[in-house]
Structure 1
Amino acid sequence: MSMRPRNAKEVSISQERIYDLIRSPLVTEKTTLLGEYGKVAFQVPLDATKPEIKVAIEKLFDVKVTAVNTLVQKGKLKRFRGKLGKRSDMKKAIVTLAEGHNIDIATGV
């Protein structure tokens, strides 16, 4: 009987899906401050799941991920030339890395 966490899931995703999951790193004042705590933020597709994001980050950057937190930022209503429009919704993933691991988002993948 192996002891693994209750919510641990075996996820196998293709190499193509790995590159689709991580759209871009989020570089803001807030996410830069999170870097001091071993956290990195990425923009991900709306259909991405936490286990998929974890596997993708671990394979792409060769690091150990301890936690993934996600949130969906709803698109704002904007006016353009008098017409009402809506920006797209965006999903963010805040990834906590294991002690001693880090990701330098300034260099490319």
Structure 2
Amino acid sequence: MDPYNIIIKPQLTEKSMNAIDYKNELTFVVRRTAKKPEIKEAFQQLFEVKVERVNTQINSRGEKIAYLKLAEEHSAEDIAVKMGVF
């Protein structure tokens, strides 16, 4: 499956911004039917980084949110800067 069909957009909230700084974690809105391994593979293909784990939840608006914890050798802040978040 195309990575652009799985990862929809970054989730930008105060909580997600703190996760970038303190947990080396990025937060994205993803396709509702996507499984954790698919999300992990899509993110690794798009940004060429190693993902340690993926946690997901469905928010109150019915969107699926993925929390992607990056490996220590990669910086979530660098990825966020490349995406134009900062």
TM-score (norm 2): 0.85
Is structure 2 residue 7 aligned with structure 1 residue 22? yes
Listed as ranges, the gaps of 5+ residues in structure 2 are none
Higher Rg of the two aligned structures: 1
Map of 1:72 onto structure 2? 58
Alignment partners' CA distance in 2, 1:23 and 1:33: 21
Is structure 2 residue 74 aligned with structure 1 residue 101? yes
Is structure 2 residue 26 aligned with structure 1 residue 40? yes
Higher RCO (Cα < 8 Å, 6 or more apart) = 2
Alignment partners' CA distance in 2, 1:57 and 1:69: 13
Listed as ranges, the gaps of 5+ residues in structure 1 are 1-13, 76-88
Report % sequence identity: 36
Alignment partners' CA distance in 2, 1:63 and 1:69: 17
Tell me, what secondary structure is at the counterpart of 1:47? coil
Deviation of residue 74 (structure 1)? Answer: 3.0
> In the comparison of the two structures, how many residue pairs are matched?
80
User: Displaced runs of 4+ in structure 1, greater than 2 A?
Assistant: 102-108
RMSD: 1.2
Kindly indicate whether the alpha-carbon contact (under 8 Å) linking 1:25 and 1:105 is maintained by their aligned counterparts in 2. no
Identify the structure with the greater helix proportion: 2
